Amino acid sequence: MALVRFEVGSADHAAVGGGYDGERLYRLGLACADASTPDARIEAHKWFNIAAMRGNAEAALLRRELAAEMTPAEIAGAQRAAREWLTLH
């Protein structure tokens, strides 16, 4: 898998430009999970959460694995970010 680096904020634009299907959102989660920014796990969890809601089973598995490495505050932040994104899109 190629390492993808981008600013976290650009992920929203990438999703908008390419549609909201579960596979694309899952790949955004993978890209964020590979990033080394402080909020990368939160962003990855957010995208995996949304992708899982769009029917991507692999995203649900990775979201669960990632959550095991996160603090309750990080998980809450990721869930809040997912809700906010869904409200806007």
In tens, the pLDDT along 49-60 reads 999 999 999 999
Name the residue among 2, 70, 72, 83 with its Cα closest to residue 40.
Answer: 70
Mean pLDDT, the chain, integer: 84
The residues near 31 (Cβ < 8 Å, ≥ 6 apart) are 4, 5, 6, 11
Answer whether residue 80 shows pLDDT above 90: yes
Asked if residues 50 and 85 have their Cβ atoms less than 8 Å apart, the reply is yes
pLDDT tens for residues 12-38? Answer: 545 545 568 899 999 999 999 988 887
Its pTM stands at 0.78
